[in-house]
Amino acid sequence: MNAADPATLYPQHLATLRARADEALLRSGHEHLLIPSGRRHYQLFDDRDYPFAVNPHFKHWLPLTRVTDSWLVYTPGQRPKVIYLQPFDYWHVVPEAPNGWWVEHVDVHVIRTPEEALPLLPGPAARCAILGEANSALGDYVPNNPAPALDYLHYQRSYKTPYEVALMRVAQRKAAHAHRAAERAFRAGAGEFDIHMAYCEAARQDATEVPYQNIVALNTHGAVLHYTELDRDPPTESLSFLIDAGASHCGYASDITRTYAADRGSEFQSMIEAVDAAQQAMCAGVRAGADYRQLHVDAHLSLMGILKDFGVLKVSPEAALATGVSAAFFPHGLGHPIGLQVHDVAGFAASDRGGTIARPEGHPYLRMTRVLEPGMVVTIEPGLYFIDMLLDEVKKNGHAASVDWARVDAFRPYGGIRIEDEVLCTDGAAENLTRPAFAG
């Protein structure tokens, strides 16, 4: 097995989690850490369940995303214990017997009903830090989610272990392969729904398995930041294609965005290329000690420089930023932490004891405000959009003279541009996890 094989990296990952759990329990004043995998949620007035989403803390310890009513139990000084539900059931496929790279490193107890976990849980419940949803309660074992433990564990989750990075690389490769299939479908004239289906087929994941709902947007739909409607019929003419879609692997998410012009010789294609070059420079800025808030502000200036070059802006990038005009064209944040969750925890954490770092004034949608450190993985996703509602606000706020509206009209039919990669902060140069996945 090579050095990037998760099986070889898991023991050290588990040792790291045990050390973090020791400190979290010390801070919260508890003796045992209990993490339920979660229980199914059911639709209102119905017996149909929603797609199951495992507790992120559970899948941090174990590469298990489909087992319900199971538990991870950790007591300092002891091997972790996994209480694994394998029910007698003829309505559903029963989880297979515990197997994989994790089994030999933990004590596994197979149960047939959720209640069989009770005698296997350490007691009394008051001495346990129980991390999970309220509906995961079992007898006296009710999730209490102590803040000192959660603050510490969430903060530490920002620093990915080599095991986690290896799993994230696989998620990147799955998504990149599917992105290429989606582009081919677009070039062949497919509509949004069929492009989406081509993506899922190539990723080998359906809508319940990908980490978030795919954004597949043609033409002006690219100006809707979270467009998920998926028109069934292709437009009369496809001018542009924006796809924001990821893949999952062992509970870890990828999140990738690309934008394409139907006409590779068009001015819009030139703008895509300019944004791509700027985005790569932003990715290179993911360095230890860099303030993500400043990266976000610098991204505004860079993107407004592109609009200035293309004749859309009539004022300087600095003036567009100061007046809020830049936010009409780039209304979201530069990116976010990613890992076990697409928008991973602790993006605003002031320290491992709580507190928050505020967003810069005038930038309410930024999802990361921390100073970057080695081990962090963040997305870098600058965008330029032509959104009528926001452009109307520019006029209402008295800044219409800052924009060449004829140039806006020329680009409006294309919707917008967003390009997104995931980047690992190291002790040296930034490591882009996404671009190699497309090159392979």
Are residues 240 and 364 both part of a single domain? yes
- Measured between alpha carbons, how far is 349 from 352 in angstroms, rounded to an integer? 7
pLDDT at 92: 87
Residues 194, 218: contact at Cβ < 8 Å? no
154 located within any domain:
no
Q: Are 102 and 117 in contact (CB under 8 A)?
A: no
Do 39 and 93 lie in one domain? The reply is yes
Of the three residues 146, 172, 204, the one that is the final residue of a domain is 146
Containing structural domain, residue 140: 6-146
- Whole-number pLDDT of residue 61: 98
Q: What's the number of domains the chain is made of?
A: 2
- Residues 199, 323, single domain; the answer is yes
**Which residues participate in the annotated binding site for Mn(2+)?**
244, 255, 336, 381, 420
Where is the domain boundary, 112, 146, 180?
A: 146
Note the pLDDT of residue 328.
Answer: 98
In a domain, 155, yes or no: no
CB 242 within 8 A of CB 196: no
Q: Are residues 200 and 289 in the same domain?
A: yes
pLDDT computed for residue 440 by the predictor: 73
Asked if 182 and 60 sit in the same domain, the reply is: no
- The answer to whether residues 294 and 387 belong to one domain is yes
CA-CA distance, 284 to 423, in Å (whole number)? Answer: 9
Q: Which residues of the chain have pLDDT under 50?
A: 1-2
On whether both 101 and 172 belong to a single domain, the answer is: no
Q: What is the pTM of this model?
A: 0.96
The number of helix segments (H) and strand segments (E) in the chain equals: 12, 17
CATH number of the domain residue 12 falls in: 3.40.350.10
Q: Does the bond joining 337 to the residue before it have cis omega, within 30 degrees of 0? A: no
The structure tokens listed for 378 are 């963040």
In a domain, 156, yes or no: no
In a shared domain, residues 128 and 249: no
Query: Is 82 inside any structural domain?
Result: yes
Does residue 180 form part of some domain?
yes
Residue from 75, 72, 77 nearest 62 by CA = 72
Q: Measured at the alpha carbon of residue 261, what is the angle toward residues 260 and 263, in degrees to the nearest 5?
A: 145
Q: Is residue 326 part of a domain?
A: yes
- Domain boundary, last residue among 146, 175, 206: 146
**Are 173 and 112 contained in the same domain?**
no
Phi, psi angle pair for 55, to nearest 5°: -60, 125
Q: Mark whether 242 and 356 lie in a shared domain.
A: yes
Rg (CA), the chain: 24
| Same-domain check for residues 287 and 408 | yes
- Are residues 127 and 196 both part of a single domain? no
CATH of the domain at 337: 3.90.230.10
Binding residues: 244, 255, 336, 381, 420
Decide if 109 is inside a domain.
yes
65 domain residue, yes or no: yes
